[in-house]
Amino acid sequence: MLGKTTVSEIGWTGVSRSPLTGITSNPWKLGYNAGASSAGAGAAAAAGLGPLHQGSDGAGSIRMPAHFCGVFGFKPSFGRVPNYPVSAGDMMSHVGPITRTVADAALMLGVMAGPHFLDYSSLEARSANYLARLREGLKGKRIAYNPDLGVAHVDPEVAELVKVAAARFTKLGATVEEVSTRGRRTDQSWRAFSGRLA
């Protein structure tokens, strides 16, 4: 363990600023935001200060720093990684990896995941070999893609980049279908999508 990286105030802001430690700049461009509460972990991963970094995510605090800093991070399903003691975010906040590569995150998740007697909400299933599962490929997988979740205004440049990224999954063997939730209840849209693919 190298130490604890900076966390934004109370862990509930979308900026990498703390009254205790100051501003954590994005390593790619000083003065730019490094993300939400796990911004220190995202910046440290991008700067190469270590291979494995742990974050917690309630509303984007792993995903935002990973995105802003150009590294890999994700919010695991609830209960996949045990969390004790329960944080102020209770069951909304999930613990997960922030790394420079997907393979490093798979290795890290393999160590982090699994049941723990101190966390009554942790899943009973033992950790899988996530690194081996990366080699399974996407052939036969089905992916729903929604460009704006029916409510968000997305910058056209960002929307185009995301659309190109989603299309890459098709080249990898998956079936990608764009679904829309605009003007409809989300559960109805997903039900209709599931029916089309069944």
Q: What digits encode the pLDDT tens for the residues 109-133?
A: 999 999 999 998 899 988 899 999 9
pLDDT of residue 132: 94
Mark whether 44 and 73 lie in a shared domain.
Answer: yes
Task: Please state, for a pLDDT cut of 70, what percent of the chain lies above it.
Answer: 89
CA pair distance 93, 119, nearest whole angstrom = 13
Question: Which burial class, exposed, middle or buried, applies to 188 when counting CB atoms under 10 A from its CB (0-12, 13-18, 19+)?
Answer: exposed
Amino acid 188: pLDDT: 55
Are both 63 and 104 inside the same structural domain? yes
User: Does residue 66 share a domain with residue 78?
Assistant: yes
Range of the domain at 120: 1-133
Query: What CA–CA distance (Å, rounded) separates 184 from 186?
Result: 6
**pLDDT at residue 192 tops 60:** no
Question: Where is pLDDT greater, at 1 or 47?
Answer: 47
Q: In sequence order, what DSSP letters do the residues of 5-50 get, joined into one string?
A: ----GGG--SSSEETTTEE-EETTEEEEE--STTHHHHHHHHHTS-
Same domain, 25 and 68: yes
Same domain for 153 and 119: no
* Boundary-marking domain end, from 83, 111, 133: 133
Shared-domain flag, residues 123 and 75 = yes
pLDDT for residue 102: 96
4 pLDDT higher than 90: no
In this structure, the answer to whether residues 142 and 184 fall within a common structural domain is: yes
2 and 81 in a common domain:
yes
In terms of residues, how long is the chain? Answer: 198
Q: Which of 66-70, 124-128, 192-196 has the highest mean pLDDT?
A: 66-70
Residue 111, phi then psi, degrees to nearest 5 = -85, -35
Are 60 and 15 a contacting pair, CB within 8 Å? no
Query: To the nearest whole number, what is the mean pLDDT of the chain?
Result: 87
Residue 41: burial class (beta carbons within 10 Å; 0-12, 13-18, 19+): buried
Burial of 177 (C-beta count, 10 Å sphere; 0-12/13-18/19+): middle
125 and 179 both lie in a single domain? no
Residues 64 and 158 in one domain: no
Query: Same domain, yes or no, for 146 and 103?
Result: no
- Of 133, 152, 172, the residue that ends a domain is 133
| Predicted pLDDT at 198 | 46
Tally of domains within the chain: 2
